[in-house]
Each structure stands twice: as structure tokens, then as C-alpha cells.
Amino acid sequence: MGTSSSSGRSSSLRNNSAEPVWAVLEQTGITFASLCPSDKDCIARAFAPRIKIIALHLKAKLPAHIELSDLISAGTLGLMEALGKFQPELNIRFETFADSRIRGAMLDELRRMDWYSRGLRQRIKKLEQVIRGFEQENGHAPTRSELLELTGQDRQELEATLEAVNSQIILSLDAIQDQWNQPGDGGNHREPFAAVAFHDIIDKLGHLIDRLNEREKLVLSLYYTEEFNMKEVALALDITEGRVSQLHSQALGKLKKMFVREYGDIN
């Protein structure tokens, strides 16, 4: 009988259809650890379908051999981390916090996985060199037909290589965006991967970055090249931190759209 209050809360979680069961975590003073096992199970099961949705969305950007089950497994660990670390004092929805942790865990797993064979890595390197040399000489990106001739790859190999490059770029931008928007971080405790990933794709996206407006380019330069934090960028540009965040998100969003439009979607 000593667990009656927990049992009552468990019943409330199951029967209240006006809000998601995990909304109880947004109440100050209630943590996942303080809930009874049945409540914990109820919340985890209720949130589980979101893991698959996030995994499916991410898999659409990846080479076909990446297993959906691997992404879901990583996302499940991300959910458990979110459940353990969520703080209602952050004044954000639990699902916003959890989605970020789930997606971050999947991206972490992809970075740990060696999903490029040695041969594919060599083809990627050669392709990047060919594209860069062609652009410097001709002032525009080569067509698929020109790439086939320049690389000596057959059409199937070329498409697989382009898919890998596209995945690498878009996932890097996604990871950078996720890191910037990490709830409660304020942009001041940047994961090294974010800056490394950005510098890694500069060569591939250089001509696209040139198409951003001056304010957007300046925000990216200050944050990734000068290594300013969000507050320092705001002070340097005499704008609010919120405006810096908006410009950053706007710039990365434009880069992704321009890349897909110019080089084609990977789906």
C-alpha cells in the first residue's frame, strides 16, 4: 500500500488523453527517476514511435546499406538519456528535448560507424579533387556526363560516390544544427565535431556559402573560424543572441537547400 501514490500516478498517465503521458515530466519536482517502474515503462513505450519516425527521416539521407535497426537502437539510448537528464526548469517541452537527444545519439552512432569502404573513400577523394579542379578551370560544377568522363567511373559507381558525398555533407550540416540548438546549452559549450565538420565541408560548399548574404556569412565566420560563442557573436554584431541563432539556422538551411537543388537529392 506504500506505493499507492505511485500507482495513482501510473493510472493517471494511462487514462489522461488530454496530453501526452510524458507531460508529467514537465512538472517541477517530478523526475523520471522518481516515478514507479510502471510509469517509467508507460512513458518509454508512449515515446518509442517517435524514435522510429526520426530514424526513418534520417535514413532517407543515408546510403541504402545503413540499417534502420541500428539507428533505432541508438535512438533508444538517446531517449533514455533524455529521460534521465530532462529538467523542467529549462522551460522547454520534453519532446523537444528528447527529439534532440534521440537525433544526436543517432548522429553519434553514424560517426562511430565506418560505413565507407576503403575503395569508396578513395573514389570520394578523387571525385572531390575532380570537381574542385573542374570548377576552378571552368567556373561551374561539372555535369554527370562530365564526371563520368573525368573520373573513369561507371554510372553505378559514380551515383554511389555522389550519394556518399551528399550524405556526408547533409549529415554534417544536420549535426552542426543539432549542436547549436541543444536545449539549455546556449551555444557556449560547442562539441568539437561541430567545428571540425563545418571546416570539412567548406571546400565542398565554398561557392554556395558565397551566395549567402553578408550577415549570414559573418555569423558563420565568427562562430566557426574565429570560434566566438553565440554571446560574443551577438556583441560583435550588436544584435541579440536570438537574432544570431536565427541567422545561423537560416544560413545552414539555405546551404542545405542550395546543395540539394544544385547537386540533386540523395533519396
Can you give the pLDDT at residue 18? Answer: 56
Predicted confidence at residue 160, as pLDDT, reads: 80
Round to whole Å and give the CA distance between 200 and 195. Answer: 9
pLDDT, tens only, 64-85? 778 899 999 999 999 998 888 8
Q: What is the mean pLDDT of residues 132-148?
A: 81
Q: Rounded to two decimals, what is the model's pTM?
A: 0.52
**Poorest-pLDDT segment among 43-47, 75-79, 209-213:** 209-213
pLDDT surpassing 80 at residue 25: yes
Q: Cα–Cα distance between 180 and 260 in angstroms, integer?
A: 22
List Cα–Cα distances, 238 to 170, 186, 234, in angstroms. Answer: 31, 18, 6
**Residues 108-131: pLDDT tens digits?**
887 777 556 667 777 877 887 887
Average pLDDT over residues 163-192: 60
Which domains are seen in the chain, by residue range? 1-115 (1.10.1740.10), 116-267 (1.20.140)
Distance CA 187, CA 5 (A): 40
In which band, very low, low, confident or very high, does the pLDDT at 2 lie, cut at 50, 70 and 90?
very low
Element housing 211 (H / E):
none
- Residue 48 clears pLDDT 80, i.e. is over it: yes
